[in-house]
Structure 1
Amino acid sequence: MRALLVAEKIAPSEVRRTGPRQVITDLLHRDHHGKLSGLHALARRTGVAIWP
């Protein structure tokens, strides 16, 4: 998560590519208790679909 946030600051367009977006999707699937702070906001900024 931290690496994705740093990458977003350095090269935001790169985080919106397929690979990083898949990592974000995988993290969303695994973070059942919402412990990864900022994950949903990162998903929104990168265009990853967030389900209820």
Structure 2
Amino acid sequence: MRVLLAAEKIAPAGVRRTGLRQVITDLLHRDHCGKLSGLHALARRSGVAI
């Protein structure tokens, strides 16, 4: 998760690429307890449906 947030700071447009959006989607489906803080906000910023 920290890597994705760091990547977003360095290259915000890069997080919107299809491959990374799929990783974010997969993390959303696996984070049942909500332990990955910032994941929902990152998903919104990258255009991933929550």
Among the aligned pairs, what percent are the same residue?
86
Equivalent runs, 1:35-50 vs 2, <5 Å: 35-50=35-50
Gaps of 5+ in 1: none
- RMSD (Å) for aligned C-alpha atoms: 0.3
Runs of at least 4 residues of structure 1 off by over 3 A?
none
Aligned length: 50
Tell me the TM-score normalised to structure 1 length.
0.94
| Structure-1 residue corresponding to 2:11 | 11
Tell me the TM-score normalised to structure 2 length.
0.98
Report which of the two has the higher share of helix.
2
Q: What is the one-letter code of the residue matched to 2:38?
A: G
